[in-house]
Homo-oligomer: A and B are copies of this chain.
Amino acid sequence: MENKKHVIKYELLKEDKRSMARLGRITTPHGTFETPVFMAVGTQATVKTLTKEELEAIGSNIILGNTYHLWCQPGSEIVRDAGGLHKFMNWDRSILTDSGGFQVFSLAKLRDIKEEGVTFKHHKNGAKLFLSPEISIKIQNDLGSDIMMCFDECPPYPSTYKYLQESVDRTLRWAKRCQDANRNPDTQGLFGIVQGGEYEDLRRHSAEELVKMDFDGYSIGGLSVGEPKEIQNRVLAFTTPLLPKDKPRYLMGVGSPGAILDAVERGIDMFDCVLPTRIARHGTAMTSYGRVLIKNKEYERDFTPLDPKCDCYCCKNYTKAYLRHLFKADEMLVYRLLSIHNINFLLRLTEGIRNAIKEDRFLEFKEQVYKEYGIEDDKDF
């Protein structure tokens, strides 16, 4: 193992005594923040409907950008020539970019996976595209994110052991190629992605080989792709102990309150999900007393805030009756207000988690949120 300089610094501040939950602090070239942390998703160089100031006001310290989408539109060279993604979108805190791998496997059509990379068709216009570890890193270097992700294969659930075995090994070879391709090793960190489906020995093999390559952090991939919740929790429980304690651990695509709490309990530090902005566009809010569907008739004359316990811009200034009216009238302002509220909800949830770990009451906090939010085991968010 090389003793290399790491762009991303992780400090382990405290471990929970009764679970694998941990409090940490990450420093990137664009700032420092405590973990567990939730990252809002800014797919197309914008966290949908919101400005930088609105994200800063609710304490958003790191957001996610999508390599695949930015590659398609406007193209990574344009973002590079603008001075990088931070400058292009007017965001000076931290940015993590995914590798495009997930979109290749979830959105794109007719993919053909070879050792060199993946040939596939654009999810909308059908144009033929090719992504490889080198191209993904080239794009992410153009974007200039603080944390890049390795280009990996994200196999569907369920996949056969034999298929996953080959896929894990190819993804490991791709991880090495990603590391070698990074032309900004002094300014952009790189995370490895542990794959292996639900199989403990494959996850172990993947984790051990990635750890040997000494990444800035590790993601646990191939989860939240339709598997039952207990499988996700079981995989997390046996995978995080395989990862070094002095590096951040990231569970990609997870953002429901219950799944965040479950994953923190099993040692995860970082989360991202489109959930808060996507459900906002469907008129759904996450509140301290559970989900609210703002279109419901019961809110027509409800002149109280969405969540009386919430201090976000939406809850301080508007009533449920007004939000319902805007939603019924299809007014964009409601998508802004609910997006602010929902992202704030998850940022306050992770803040609550951090405080609970500090005060040795994480499991009690988890139980309390489960109860107050009304999380059922099989039906989260």
Contact = CB atoms under 8 A, between A and B. Distances in A.
**Across chains A and B, which 7 residue pairs bring their CB atoms closest together, nearest first?**
A74-B325, A44-B329, A49-B332, A46-B333, A90-B317, A46-B331, A73-B329
Contact of A321 (B49, B74, B301, B318): B74
Interface residues of A, number: 36
Interface of A: 44-46, 48-52, 69, 73-74, 78, 81-83, 88-90, 300-301, 303, 317-319, 321-322, 324-326, 328-329, 331-333, 335-336
A89 B319 CA distance: 9
B301 A73 contact: no
B328 A74 contact: yes
Identical subunits present: 2
Contact of A81 (B45, B89, B301): B301
Given A74-B321, A300-B78, A322-B88, A332 B331 contact: no
B50 A333 contact: yes
Contact of A322 (B45, B69, B301, B333): B45
Contacts of A328: 73-74
A195 to B, nearest CB: 30
Contacts of A50: 333
Given A74-B324, A88-B322, A303 B333 contact: no
A312 to B, nearest CB: 13
Contacts of A88: 319, 321-322, 325
A303 B74 contact: no
Nearest to A332: B49
